[in-house]
């Protein structure tokens, strides 16, 4: 039996300064963002919807340095722990960073640094949930699903705009 077409999400691809991105929405909520290098198994309907168009517009503004916050309905799928991490990550201010340890401490689980890293790695909506703002305790850029080059680009963009 095939997938129920009503439960499938819509995906649309956009060319950006950081490569081709696929943004997914289901029932009016943004559920995923895929980088060009991502492999994914789920089936989606390729269709641009109003919310996908709006997500792309906000993403474009962010990448141009004219938007610091997103105002989109996000619906990431994950465990309660991961959702707690992602909520914490969303509270990191534009142009700021926190270490994995600081995030772990903020969510009340100071020994969960690696689990925080794993949650960031499983973040289904990077950029909109700004896990690029989480770095190693030494200040090093550690891991990013879109690649360290993209992570560095996003952090440099935010730093440059914040300093203006």
Task: For residue 91, give both structure tokens.
Answer: 């509270």
In which domain, by residue range, is 46 found? Answer: 10-63
> Which pTM was predicted?
0.90
Q: Is residue 74 part of a domain?
A: no
In a shared domain, residues 41 and 104? no
In a shared domain, residues 123 and 158? yes
In a shared domain, residues 45 and 86? no
In a shared domain, residues 57 and 105? no
In a shared domain, residues 112 and 157? yes
For the stretch 70-95, pLDDT in tens is: 999 999 999 999 999 999 999 999 99
Q: Where are the alpha helices (DSSP H) in 2-145?
A: 50-63, 80-90, 100-106, 113-121
Our count of domains for the chain comes to 2
Cα three-residue angle 42-45-47, rounded to 5 degrees: 140
In a shared domain, residues 87 and 57? no
In a shared domain, residues 57 and 86? no
Task: Name the residues annotated as catalytic.
Answer: 131
For the stretch 27-57, pLDDT in tens is: 999 999 999 877 776 789 999 999 999 999 9
């Amino acid at each position: 039996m095939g997938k129920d077409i009503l439960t499938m999400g819509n995906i649309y691809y956009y060319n950006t300064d950081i490569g081709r991105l696929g943004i997914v929405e289901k029932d009016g909520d943004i559920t995923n963002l895929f980088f060009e290098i991502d492999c994914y198994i789920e089936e989606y309907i390729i269709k641009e919807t109003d919310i996908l168009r709006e997500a792309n517009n906000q993403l474009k503004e962010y990448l141009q340095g004219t938007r610091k916050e997103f105002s989109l309905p996000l619906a990431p799928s994950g465990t309660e722990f991961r959702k707690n991490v992602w909520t914490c990550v969303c509270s990191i201010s534009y142009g700021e960073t926190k270490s994995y340890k600081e995030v772990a401490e903020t969510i009340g689980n100071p020994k969960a640094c690696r689990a925080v890293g794993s949650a960031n790695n499983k973040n289904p909506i990077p950029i909109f949930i700004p896990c690029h703002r989480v770095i190693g305790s030494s200040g090093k850029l550690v891991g990013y699903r879109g690649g360290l080059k993209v992570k560095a680009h996003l952090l440099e963009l935010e730093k440059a705009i914040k300093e203006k």
